């Protein structure tokens, strides 16, 4: 078949990986924005059931479907949509009605049929029956199971079997929720990057290193692409550095603890890992400083800020300054001689104090408003207590000129972490934040991420 042939239909069936369902729609929308095209949802709203692994979307062309399949980490495959139904009779009725879309493959196109199910395994005997039920298509070409010109796929979607009393292996067979049918347009190739960036294979990582799949999802939320400047203010061991650089972006990173970036040998650990992925030349520079006393001399510099702020479970956030301690009566003893002067050859290590998570998150949004270009994005993880979380928790983070475009939960049970994407929606220039927490109105609302570290180690008990 001529690859330039345009399909008559603008509907495409997306099949997703069985993971991170809340991240699926934000990723699709972000990649579509990156490439400059629109997605139309079935109900003309974004309130779709993202927990289901099949979704029909309307796109202007098959090329757009291919771009999504090649860049979206959670897309397994994309099909030209021919029909669906609660029964095979409904499915076949729709497929017959769309004959103009598939009749071009009837005469001399090699093909194969692929039959599968979600939450179920279809017996081999019934798989043959399913294929034979499409005999009305009258495919005359050669059957080629290894390298066909077209692949037709039929998917049965079953409810989750957990919690049911079913015992027999094929007891539920045929009692599907819905059945879907279409022609393969593109296999999802981006998922291969999860293995490529597998932390276990990395030459440098630490105990706070972000897993590969999440790093890639975060990179897509930043709209990373060649020529863009992206900054990680809590870079640590560089988890998000490698994935954003893989997509072509130029990276700046900073951390209050330079040992995290450097490691124990030379060259620095982040640079060694970046070289492993062939992106060392995209690491513009790495800095050691407290982000609340940063050396940036101008705003509107970066296309995106991406980070996983430390929240105290494995490592706590720090900022320069002395810890608040109760006042004690002064000692009457004279200072010791070595307290009066410091030996010249000893390095000065400035004191640090804890950086409470809710204060950090608020400061991060203010910093992003100052440092981002118009329509630039701040992408970061926010841990939260499941039973206490409210939408107001994230809304109170916002300030003038910033809006939330995505909020996806990775659920760990009693707590979870939310991938928040905030976009700068103005071209106005804003001054750098003072980090003194006097720049926003004081809110009576206490967010679920306030004092998260203490709640975590208390087992989320006694947090009222």
Distance in angstroms (rounded) separating the CA atoms of residues 194 and 246: 12
Q: Where in the chain is the domain with CATH 3.30.2130.30?
A: 10-189
CATH number given to 10-189: 3.30.2130.30
Pick the closest to residue 180 from 273, 276, 92 (CA basis). Answer: 92
Q: What is the DSSP string of 155-169?
A: EEE----TT----ST
CB-based contacts of 393, cutoff 8 Å, min separation 6 = 384, 445, 447, 448, 449
Pick the closest to residue 183 from 93, 101, 108 (CA basis). Answer: 101
Residue found by looking up tokens 């630490």 in the block: 206
Do residues 30 and 221 touch, judged by C-beta distance below 8 A? yes
The end-to-end CA distance of the chain, in Å, is: 65
Do residues 383 and 393 touch, judged by C-beta distance below 8 A? no
Tell me the pTM.
Answer: 0.88
Return per-residue pLDDT of the chain as tens, 464 residues.
Answer: 333 344 444 899 999 999 999 999 999 999 999 999 999 987 654 567 888 999 999 999 999 999 999 999 999 999 999 999 999 999 999 999 999 999 999 999 999 999 999 999 999 999 999 999 999 999 999 999 999 999 999 999 999 887 665 556 677 898 999 999 999 999 999 999 999 999 999 998 887 889 999 999 999 999 999 999 999 999 999 999 999 999 999 999 999 888 888 888 888 899 999 999 999 999 999 999 999 999 999 999 999 999 998 876 555 666 666 666 555 565 555 555 555 555 566 676 677 776 788 888 999 999 999 999 999 999 999 999 999 999 999 999 999 999 999 999 999 999 999 999 999 999 999 999 887 754 455 567 888 888 887 887 888 775 44
- Name the DSSP letter for residue 104: G
Pick the closest to residue 33 from 450, 431, 377 (CA basis). Answer: 377
Tell me how long the chain is: 464
Do residues 31 and 188 touch, judged by C-beta distance below 8 A? no
Buried b (16+ CB within 10 A) or exposed e, 5-23: eebebbbbbbbbbeebbbb
Q: Where in the chain is the domain with CATH 3.40.50.150?
A: 194-321+349-458
Q: Which helix (H) or strand (E) holds 128?
A: helix 124-132
177, 240, 297 from 30: Cα distances, Å = 30, 17, 30
pLDDT for 335: 54
Fold of the 194-321+349-458 domain: Rossmann fold (3.40.50)
Residue found by looking up tokens 């094929």 in the block: 170
Say whether 347 sits in a helix, a strand or coil.
coil
Do residues 291 and 233 touch, judged by C-beta distance below 8 A? yes
pLDDT for 445: 80
Handedness of CA 207, 212, 215, 217 (dihedral sign): negative
Joined tokens for residue 326: 């109760």
């Amino acid at each position: 078949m001529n690859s330039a042939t345009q399909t008559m239909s603008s509907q495409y069936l997306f099949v997703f990986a069985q993971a991170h369902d809340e991240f699926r729609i934000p990723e699709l929308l972000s990649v579509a924005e990156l490439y400059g095209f629109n997605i139309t949802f079935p109900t003309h709203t974004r309130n779709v059931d993202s927990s289901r692994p099949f979704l029909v979307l309307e796109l202007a062309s098959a090329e757009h479907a291919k771009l999504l399949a090649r860049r979206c980490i959670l897309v397994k495959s994309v099909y030209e949509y021919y029909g669906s139904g609660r029964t095979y009779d409904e499915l076949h009725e729709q497929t017959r009605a769309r004959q103009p879309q598939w009749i071009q493959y009837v005469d001399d196109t090699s093909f194969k049929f692929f039959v599968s199910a979600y939450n179920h395994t279809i017996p081999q005997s019934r798989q043959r029956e399913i294929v034979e039920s499409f005999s009305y298509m009258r495919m005359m070409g050669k059957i080629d199971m290894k390298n066909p010109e077209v692949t037709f796929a039929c998917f049965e979607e079953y409810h989750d079997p957990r919690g049911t009393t079913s015992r027999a292996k094929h007891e539920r067979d045929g009692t599907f929720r819905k059945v879907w049918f279409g022609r393969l347009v593109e296999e999802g190739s981006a998922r291969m990057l999860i293995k490529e960036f597998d932390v276990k294979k990395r030459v440098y990582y630490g105990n706070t290193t972000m897993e590969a799949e999440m790093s890639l999802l975060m990179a897509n939320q930043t709209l990373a692409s060649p020529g863009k400047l992206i900054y990680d203010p809590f870079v640590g061991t560089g988890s998000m550095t490698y994935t954003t650089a893989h997509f072509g972006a130029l990276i700046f990173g900073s951390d209050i603890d330079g040992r995290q970036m450097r490691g124990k040998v030379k060259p620095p650990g982040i640079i060694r890992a970046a070289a492993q992925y062939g992106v060392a030349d995209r690491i513009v520079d790495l800095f050691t400083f407290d982000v609340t006393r940063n050396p940036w001399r101008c705003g509107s510099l970066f296309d995106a800020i991406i980070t996983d702020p430390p929240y105290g479970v494995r490592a706590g956030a720090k900022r320069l300054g002395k810890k608040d301690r109760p006042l004690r009566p002064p000692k009457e003893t004279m200072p010791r001689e070595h307290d009066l002067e410091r030996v010249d050859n000893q390095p000065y290590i400035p004191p640090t104090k804890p950086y409470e998570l809710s204060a950090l998150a608020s400061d991060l949004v203010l910093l992003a408003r100052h440092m981002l270009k118009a329509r630039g994005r701040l992408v970061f993880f926010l841990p939260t207590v499941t039973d206490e979380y409210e939408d107001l928790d994230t809304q109170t983070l916002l300030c003038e000129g910033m809006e939330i475009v995505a909020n996806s939960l990775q659920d760990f049970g009693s707590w979870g972490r939310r991938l928040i994407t905030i976009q700068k929606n103005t071209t106005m220039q804003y001054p750098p934040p003072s980090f003194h927490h006097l720049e926003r109105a004081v809110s009576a609302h206490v967010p679920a991420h306030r004092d998260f570290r203490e709640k975590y180690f208390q087992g989320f008990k006694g947090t009222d």
